């Protein structure tokens, strides 16, 4: 046996697969544990042999970035080993994701809870951006929640290094509802600001408990954005009419955020508005967001361990099956956010698939914190 | 302003980004470590291959002239130059070329050329680098543009190469660090005219390319290599850069990098390498030669082992079914799909 094979076999022996908990086109997910400690883990087995171009790009991206990134708010890749022609990623085990929590109607979110999730989200994202990594697929079900309440950014299947100035990147990224207008207009030169837009949408969704900008097609997405935020003017977003896929959508008036987010504080709306600025260069950075007055004002963020939990989290989480779902493929086609990069295999995920799709969620509800 | 009043999340200490990279942690060695590693790999390979020869027909290994570690390295070095040629042909960006070269070097810190000939490893390392640096091309258009190369030449080794790299694909390159220096030196107060600076940068970049033929990237951080190359190109500018950063001490640290690049940066002579390659045909590991007696024997052994495993697993499932396990049937189906755990 070669030294490389031997080292691989030694690594493989450290982990035990207990139970298959989900299967997708590209990967099978197992719940397992570390042999020495009994620590719970998830093993994502990626089938490699079946691709005509060899190792699949989203697997390459995920492994490349998770190997380098170690942060409390980024999912931890514990080990990688191979079995025959399969690639096995050993990941920390996480109970649930933010989408599950948002959809759990029995949970009430306090402003302090939202602030805590936002702080963790921005910390994880600031770390990615500090490492020049664009995530390019932020959405609630890519934000996993550990048993201690820590939020972890997951799914780096579409991530890439920020390109040098002048180098093109694909605009077919980020799930539609969380995709910024510059990408919808076909912009091929973009920055960390694309992730900030997604975070803004998630911020709003945490307050509304329903997706903030749920477009039904790429064109409808732009219309949905403009209906909510007003059609951008040349002054607000210089040059946007020159973008490759620019189309005139019609004139919508700007309605104040206050009209929809009736109970939010001024700081909250100020930070939200800075995340969803049309002009990408004026959008707030993750670092500046962490220093925004919102995070210093009362109420202080909830301690992660005290954040709302789904029933699955509180009751025997160990026995609950974990399901696997193919990232950007929307299982309920039509109203869903739709697939992202053409020609990019959808990334795989370690999380529960949502059984039903609540169509009523397409309509944003007004938020009333007084009820909470 | 007080610090964000958030929960007990201890943010990681602010260390340089490079220090948390896999390159910093797992792919830096001393000159001595490199020598020991290569010698050990070489000796282990010779022992194993000799053994295979002897078990095939006793006495057959006595007159085989095996390669030594230095000869292996020379052959790898030649194939580093082939990566540069291919990248020119495909017009791949510098990042792809540099990454492919790094992968090739790292591969041979875990393997020997007597097991895996650098030609296909080189092709695979470069193909993998196109993907890890976000410049993917289809395997079909890759191999069809390289003479006498089939897709399987690349695919068969891709997993082995990825595994040898420990799936650590991110590489920090000296040419990126040099780009940073280039931006800095344009800001120096007594900077020479721009045209001259451009010439200096181009010369320094040539030294970086030369450095890829040497071991320096396995020993030193990219920033020091870049500064060494700038010093080789124009010592005064490098010195005033160091003064501007209060980093004059750095100039002493890079002396050995300059020496190594100047000493080892030459392209190996084709005649010498051709002779090594000729000998390699005789001493390469027969277990790795597809179709050979030793290869078939090894494969048969592996196949029978995995067949045994499958049967054991199917047996367990059957038992479960007989004992009335309600999930028995489903498991049986899974077991058929899934034969590797």
Least confident of A204-208, A299-303, A358-362: A358-362
**Average pLDDT across chain A, whole number:** 84
Which phi and psi (to 5°) does residue A43 adopt? -115, 125
Could you tell me which of B144, B151, B147 has the C-alpha nearest to residue B124?
A: B151
d(CA A157, CA A135): 8
ipTM of the predicted structure?
Answer: 0.82
CA distance B303 to chain A (A): 12
Least confident of A60-69, A70-79, A169-178, B4-13: B4-13
Q: What confidence score (pLDDT) does residue A352 get?
A: 37
Angle at B219 between CA B215 and CA B223, to 5 degrees: 105
Of A28, A119, A131, the CB nearest to B4: A119
Residues with Cβ within 8 Å of B60's Cβ and at least 6 positions away in sequence, in order, are: B53, B54
Annotated binding site of A for ATP: 21-29, 44-45
Q: What confidence score (pLDDT) does residue A371 get?
A: 36
Least confident of A53-57, A217-221, A298-302, B225-229: A53-57
CA distance A70 to chain B (A): 8
Chain B residues with beta carbon closer than 8 angstroms to that of A119: 4, 6
Chain A residue closest in CA terms to B139: A53
- pLDDT of A197 above 60: yes
Chain B residue closest in CA terms to A115: B6
d(CA B129, CA B83): 11
Residues with Cβ within 8 Å of A335's Cβ and at least 6 positions away in sequence, in order, are: A214, A216, A357, A359, A362
Q: Taking the CA of residue A195 as centre, how many other CA atoms within 13 Å lie in the half-sphere pointing to its CB?
A: 31
Chain A residues with beta carbon closer than 8 angstroms to that of B1: 291, 296
Tokens of A142: 């890519």
Q: Which residue has the higher pLDDT, A51 or B180?
A: B180
Strands A151-153 and A143-145: antiparallel
- pLDDT of A207 above 80: yes
Q: What confidence score (pLDDT) does residue B302 get?
A: 74
- Do A64 and B132 make contact, defined as CB atoms within 8 angstroms? yes
Catalytic residues of A: 137
Q: What confidence score (pLDDT) does residue A348 get?
A: 41
CA distance A249 to chain B (A): 33
Q: Which CATH superfamily is domain A96-306 in?
A: Transferase(Phosphotransferase) domain 1 (1.10.510.10)
Residues with Cβ within 8 Å of A316's Cβ and at least 6 positions away in sequence, in order, are: none
Average pLDDT over residues A131-155: 95
- pLDDT of A345 above 70: no
Exposed/middle/buried for A202, CB within 10 Å: 0-12, 13-18, 19+? Answer: buried
- The 10s digit of each residue's pLDDT in A146-193 is 999 999 999 998 999 998 888 899 999 999 999 999 999 999 999 999
Of B7, B154, B340, the CB nearest to A84: B340
Q: Which residue has the higher pLDDT, A353 or A214?
A: A214
Of A4, A71, A116, the CB nearest to B111: A4
Chain A residue closest in CA terms to B41: A3
Q: What confidence score (pLDDT) does residue A229 get?
A: 96
Residues with Cβ within 8 Å of A60's Cβ and at least 6 positions away in sequence, in order, are: B131, B132, B169
Q: Where are the domains of chain A?
A: 96-306
A44 DSSP β-pair partners: A29, A89
Chain B residues with beta carbon closer than 8 angstroms to that of A301: 4-7
* Digitized pLDDT (tens) for each residue of chain B, 341 residues in all: 444 444 444 455 567 889 999 999 999 999 999 999 999 999 999 998 888 888 877 877 777 888 999 999 999 999 999 999 999 999 999 999 999 999 999 999 999 999 999 999 999 999 999 999 999 999 999 999 999 999 989 988 998 999 999 999 999 999 999 999 999 999 988 888 999 999 999 999 999 999 999 999 999 999 999 999 999 999 999 999 999 999 888 888 899 999 999 999 998 888 998 999 899 888 888 777 666 666 677 777 777 777 777 777 777 767 766 666 545 444 444 444 443 44
Q: What confidence score (pLDDT) does residue A161 get?
A: 92
- Do A4 and B5 make contact, defined as CB atoms within 8 angstroms? no
Q: What confidence score (pLDDT) does residue B339 get?
A: 39
Q: What confidence score (pLDDT) does residue B54 get?
A: 83
- pLDDT of A328 above 60: no
Which of A33-37, A194-198, B66-70 is the most confident on average? A194-198
């Amino acid at each position: 046996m070669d030294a490389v094979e031997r080292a691989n076999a030694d690594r493989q022996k450290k982990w035990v697969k207990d139970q298959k908990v989900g299967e997708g086109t590209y990967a099978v997910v197992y719940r397992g544990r570390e042999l020495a400690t009994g620590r719970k883990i998830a093993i994502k087995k990626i089938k490699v042999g079946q691709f005509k171009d060899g190792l699949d790009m989203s697997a390459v991206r995920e492994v490349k970035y998770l190997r380098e990134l170690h942060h409390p708010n980024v999912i931890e890749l514990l080990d990688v080993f191979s079995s025959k022609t399969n690639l096995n990623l050993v990941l920390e085990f996480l109970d649930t994701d933010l989408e599950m929590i948002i959809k759990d109607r029995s949970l009430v979110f306090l402003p302090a809870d939202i602030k805590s999730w936002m702080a963790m989200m921005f910390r994880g994202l600031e770390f990615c951006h500090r490492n020049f990594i664009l995530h390019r697929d932020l959405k609630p079900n890519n934000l996993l929640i550990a048993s201690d309440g820590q939020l972890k950014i997951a799914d780096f299947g579409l991530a890439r290094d920020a390109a040098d100035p002048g180098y093109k990147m694909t605009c077919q990224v980020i799930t539609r509802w969380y995709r910024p207008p510059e990408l919808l207009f076909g912009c091929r030169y973009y920055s960390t600001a694309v992730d900030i837009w997604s975070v803004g949408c998630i911020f709003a969704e945490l307050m509304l408990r329903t997706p903030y900008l749920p477009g039904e097609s790429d064109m409808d997405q732009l219309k949905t954005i403009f209906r909510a935020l007003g059609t951008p003017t040349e002054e607000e977003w210089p040059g946007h009419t020159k973008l490759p896929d620019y189309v005139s959508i019609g004139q919508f008036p700007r309605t104040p955020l206050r009209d929809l987010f009736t109970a939010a504080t001024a700081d909250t709306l100020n930070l939200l508005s800075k995340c969803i600025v049309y002009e990408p260069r004026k959008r707030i950075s993750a670092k500046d967001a962490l220093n925004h007055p919102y995070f210093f004002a009362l109420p202080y963020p909830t301690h992660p361990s005290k954040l709302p939990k789904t029933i699955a989290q509180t009751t025997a989480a160990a026995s609950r099956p974990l399901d696997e779902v193919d990232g950007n493929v929307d299982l309920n086609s039509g109203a869903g956010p739709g697939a992202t990069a053409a020609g990019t295999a959808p990334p795989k995920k370690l999380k529960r698939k949502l059984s039903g799709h609540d169509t009523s969620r397409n309509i944003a509800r007004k938020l009333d914190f007084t009820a909470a | 302003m007080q610090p964000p009043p958030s929960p007990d999340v201890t943010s990681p200490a602010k260390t340089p980004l490079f220090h948390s990279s896999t390159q910093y942690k797992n792919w830096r060695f001393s000159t001595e470590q490199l020598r020991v590693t290569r010698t050990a790999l070489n000796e282990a390979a010779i022992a194993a291959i000799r053994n295979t020869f002897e078990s095939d027909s006793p006495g057959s290994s006595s007159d085989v002239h095996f390669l030594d570690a230095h000869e292996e390295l020379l052959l790898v070095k030649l194939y580093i130059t082939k990566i540069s040629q291919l990248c020119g042909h495909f017009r791949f960006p510098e990042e792809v070329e540099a990454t492919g070269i790094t992968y090739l070097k790292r591969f041979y810190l875990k393997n020997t050329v007597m097991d895996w000939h650098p030609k296909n490893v080189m092709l695979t390392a470069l193909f993998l680098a196109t993907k890890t640096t976000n410049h993917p091309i289809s395997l079909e258009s890759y191999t069809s543009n390289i003479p006498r190369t089939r897709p399987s030449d690349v695919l068969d080794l891709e997993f082995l190469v990825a595994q040898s790299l420990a799936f650590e694909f991110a590489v920090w390159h000296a040419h990126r660090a040099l780009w940073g220096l280039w931006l800095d030196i344009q800001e120096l107060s007594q900077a020479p005219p721009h045209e001259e600076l451009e010439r200096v940068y181009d010369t320094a970049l040539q030294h970086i390319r030369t450095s890829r033929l040497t071991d320096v990237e396995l020993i030193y951080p990219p920033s020091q290599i870049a500064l060494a190359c700038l010093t080789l190109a124009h010592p005064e500018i490098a010195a005033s850069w160091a003064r501007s950063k209060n980093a004059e001490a750095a100039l002493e640290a890079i002396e050995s990098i300059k020496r190594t690049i100047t000493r080892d940066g030459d392209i190996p002579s084709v005649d010498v390498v051709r002779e090594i390659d000729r000998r390699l045909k005789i001493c390469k590991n027969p277990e790795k030669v597809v179709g050979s007696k030793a290869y078939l024997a090894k494969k048969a052994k592996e196949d029978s082992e995995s067949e045994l495993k499958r049967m054991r697993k199917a047996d367990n499932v059957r038992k479960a079914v007989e004992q009335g396990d309600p999930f028995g049937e489903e498991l049986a189906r899974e077991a058929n799909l899934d034969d590797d755990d």
